[in-house]
């Protein structure tokens, strides 16, 4: 089953009196449960594609479908529940709220939907990623790897079907990066979710089920990997 689809999407930006095309007629269909890597050099359009696939921004033309539902024209208030439940996000720079503890950061998306089990779920996740002892620490009291593990818990608390990750190991050293990636993949398998991850890294791409290679806003290769 296809859980996520981009149909012939284009993204152009007006810069001065010129239009710059950063994604040019891109189509991609992601089956449920896949680990898809979007790879390409700097400026090739990876983050733009992730942003459009996840409904954070709108394409200039083309359609985006999540679970068969066309989300292209949905308004902010219609997209908000989708973002908070069907989708989880992990960013390169963690995006944790500095004034909230690890536990509070993780609980936040569950509290938004008034989940009475928010605290219990956050605790289970903190234990799962080995950070229960850090529950009451603020982000500035955590290492980069710990912050990213907290951010992963926050992304997962509402049990999203699709997790989008933009260079999730980009701010970590190689040992921490590897541990964070392994954790993301283990959790993806446990929860049978779909993972769409942006990276420049060939090493990470080699772990994916499929790699979409972007160059100058176009898909130049879309292929399953043989593990
Ligand atoms: N708001 C914007 N206005 C104008 N141009 C933009 C805007 N956002 C992105 N771009 C341009 O679109 C192109 C693709 O950017 P994008 O961030 O998607 O690339 P990327 O492959 O993720 O790069 P990196 O690996 O460096 O993060 C770049 O040339 C960038 O300068």
List pLDDT tens digits, range 164-212: 999 999 999 999 999 999 999 999 999 999 999 999 999 999 999 999 9
Q: 205: how many CB neighbours lie within 10 A of its CB? A: 18
Question: How close is the Cα of 45 to the center of ligand 1, in Å?
Answer: 6
pLDDT tens for residues 52-104? 999 999 999 999 999 999 999 999 999 988 888 899 999 999 999 999 999 99
Residues 100 and 74 both lie in one domain: no
Q: pTM of the predicted model, to two decimals?
A: 0.94
Task: Please give the residue range of the domain that contains residue 99.
Answer: 87-159
40 CB near ligand 1 (under 6 Å):
yes
31 CB near ligand 1 (under 6 Å):
no
Among 159, 181, 204, give the residue marking a domain's end. Answer: 159
Which of 38, 18, 9, 80 has the alpha carbon at shortest distance from 164?
A: 38
Confirm whether 42 is domain-assigned: yes
Residues 91 and 58 both lie in one domain: no
Among 159, 183, 211, give the residue marking a domain's end. Answer: 159
207 CB near ligand 1 (under 6 Å):
no
Residues 3 and 31 both lie in one domain: yes
Among 159, 184, 210, give the residue marking a domain's end. Answer: 159
Burial of 208 (0-12, 13-18, 19+ CB in 10 A): buried
Question: How close is the Cα of 49 to the center of ligand 1, in Å?
Answer: 10
Residues 97 and 42 both lie in one domain: no
Return d(Cα 53, Cα 39) in angstroms, integer: 15
Confirm whether 181 is domain-assigned: no
Confirm whether 188 is domain-assigned: no
Confirm whether 91 is domain-assigned: yes
Paired tokens of 33: 């449960």
Residues 94 and 75 both lie in one domain: no
Residues 4 and 65 both lie in one domain: yes
- Tally of structural domains, the chain: 2
Residues 2 and 79 both lie in one domain: yes
Paired tokens of 62: 């083309």
Residues 102 and 28 both lie in one domain: no
- Radius of gyration of the chain measured on its C-alpha atoms: 17
Question: How close is the Cα of 135 to the center of ligand 1, in Å?
Answer: 36
56 CB near ligand 1 (under 6 Å):
no
Residues 81 and 92 both lie in one domain: no
14 CB near ligand 1 (under 6 Å):
no
Residues 65 and 91 both lie in one domain: no
Confirm whether 97 is domain-assigned: yes
Atom of ligand 1 nearest to the CA of 51: 18
13 CB near ligand 1 (under 6 Å):
yes
């Amino acid at each position: 089953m296809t859980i996520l689809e981009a149909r012939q999407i284009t993204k152009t930006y007006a810069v001065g009196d010129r239009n710059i095309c950063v994604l040019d007629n891109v189509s991609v269909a992601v089956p449920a449960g896949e680990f898809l890597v979007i790879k390409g050099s700097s400026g090739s359009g990876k983050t733009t594609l992730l942003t459009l696939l996840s409904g954070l921004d709108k394409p200039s033309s083309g359609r985006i479908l999540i679970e068969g539902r066309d989300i292209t024209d949905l308004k902010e208030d219609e997209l908000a529940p989708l973002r908070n439940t069907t989708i989880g996000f992990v960013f390169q720079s963690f995006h944790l709220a500095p004034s909230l503890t690890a536990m509070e950061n993780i609980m936040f998306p569950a509290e938004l939907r008034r989940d009475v089990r928010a605290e219990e779920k956050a605790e289970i996740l903190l234990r799962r990623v080995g950070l229960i002892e850090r529950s009451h620490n603020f982000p500035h009291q955590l290492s980069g790897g710990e912050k990213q593990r907290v951010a992963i818990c926050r992304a997962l608390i509402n049990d999203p079907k699709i997790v989008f990750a933009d260079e999730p190991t980009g701010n970590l050293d190689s040992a921490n990066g590897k541990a964070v990636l392994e954790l993301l993949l283990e959790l993806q398998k446990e929860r049978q979710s779909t993972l769409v991850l942006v990276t420049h890294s060939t090493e990470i791409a080699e772990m994916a089920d499929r790699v979409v290679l972007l160059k100058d806003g176009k898909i130049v290769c879309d292929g399953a990997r043989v593990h």
